[in-house]
Amino acid sequence: MTTSFFSLLRVCAFFMLAGCLQAQFSSVFFEEFNGPTLSSEWEETTPGTYQFDGDATNLTGNRVYIRTAASDFIDHDFSMMVQFTLPESGGANQSMFVGFGSGLPDGSFFHEPHTAIYFRATAPDFSGEKLLYDISASAGTHQESSNLLNPGGGTHMVVLTRIGDTFTMEFDANALVEGSSVELTQSFSVADTLDFLDATNSYLFLGTGGSGVSIDVAAVALSAVPEPSTYAMMAGLVVLGAAGWHRRRRQALAAA
C-alpha cells in the first residue's frame, strides 16, 4: 500500500519533539519502506527477502527479519515505533514480530527470533496465542508468555522504549476504538531480564511470517547519554506517536 497522509502525520508527530530538540538525541530516523532498498540505518538479516513499495512485504513465506544496522542499542536510551497491518486470516503463517535483540531466526524454534525479547502478533484465526511476548536468552531457549490478548486484523502499533533500567513494550497503547481497549504494556528490568544482550547483538528489529502482513513504517529515536530531561522527551515521543496513531484509527473507522 502507499503511505497515506495520516501515516506521514503520525510519523511527524512521533518526531516533532525530537526534531525540535535534535541536540538531545544522538540519532533520529524513520523508514517508510518506499524502496527499492532500505535506508542505510536498516538491513535485512537475509538480503532479498522483502519487497519495499510503500510498505515492506515478505517475499518468502518464511519468518524473516529487518533490523537496525547498529547493534549497540543496549548502550542507549531509545524509543522505536512500528506500525503494521495484520490480515484477518492465515493463522500462524501470518505473524508479526517486533523486538530487541539479534533479529536472527532460530531454526530450532519455528524460525522465531533468538537472543531477543519480542512481541509476536498473529492473524485472529490462529488457534493458539494471538499475542504474546517471548524472552530468548539464546538459540533454542524461549520463555513465551501466555496469550495476552486478541488484537484482531487491521492496523496496529508497537512501541519499544528503554529508559535507564526499564524496558517497556507497548501494543496499541492508549488506542481506544469504539470504547473497546486493546492496549497492552509490559515492562522489564534491563539488568535482570536482558543480561544476554551486549553491544554486538542488541539490534532493534521487526519481521513477518507470510506475505499477508505489511509493515507500514518504523521510527527510532535514541539518546547516547541519558539525562533527566531526555527521559521526559522520550516519554513525549511515545505519547505523540500514540496520539497520531489514534487519530488515524478514528479516521479509518469513520470512513468504514
Q: How confident is the model at residue 222, as a pLDDT? A: 83
pLDDT digits (tens, 9 = 90+) for 166-193: 999 999 875 533 333 568 899 999 999 9
Q: Where residue 130 falls among pLDDT bands split at 50, 70, 90?
A: very high
Number of domains into which the chain is organized = 1
pLDDT value of position 240: 52
Segments forming the whole domain that contains residue 230: 5-255
Query: What is the Cα–Cα distance from 155 to 172, expressed in whole angstroms?
Result: 9
217: domain CATH number is 2.60.120.200
Instruction: For 2-42, write each residue's pLDDT tens digit.
Output: 444 444 445 555 555 444 444 455 678 889 999 999 999 99
254 pLDDT band, cuts 50/70/90, is low
Whole-angstrom distance, CA of residue 26 vs CA of residue 110? 36
* pLDDT at residue number 95: 97
pLDDT of residue 97: 98
Mean pLDDT of all residues in 140-167: 93
pLDDT value, residue 27 = 77
pLDDT > 60? residue 199? yes
Q: What is the pLDDT of residues 39-62, one digit of tens each?
A: 999 999 999 999 999 999 999 989
* Reported confidence tier of residue 200, pLDDT bands at 50, 70, 90: very high
Q: Which of 183, 203, 186 has its CA nearest to residue 245? A: 183
**Residues 208-212, mean pLDDT to the nearest whole number:** 93
Residue whose entry in the numeric block shows the C-alpha cell 512481541? 119
Q: What is the pLDDT of residue 245?
A: 46
- For residues 213 and 155, the answer to whether their CB atoms sit within 8 Å is no
Give the per-residue pLDDT at 165: 95
Listed range (50-54, 78-82, 175-179, 252-256) with the worst mean pLDDT: 175-179
Q: Can you say whether residue 60 is alpha, beta or left, with left for phi > 0 and alpha for psi between -120 and 50 degrees?
A: alpha
One-letter amino acid for residue 138 of the chain: S
The kind and range of the H/E element at 254 are helix 228-255
Q: How does pLDDT run across 64-77, given as a tens digit for each residue?
A: 999 999 999 999 99
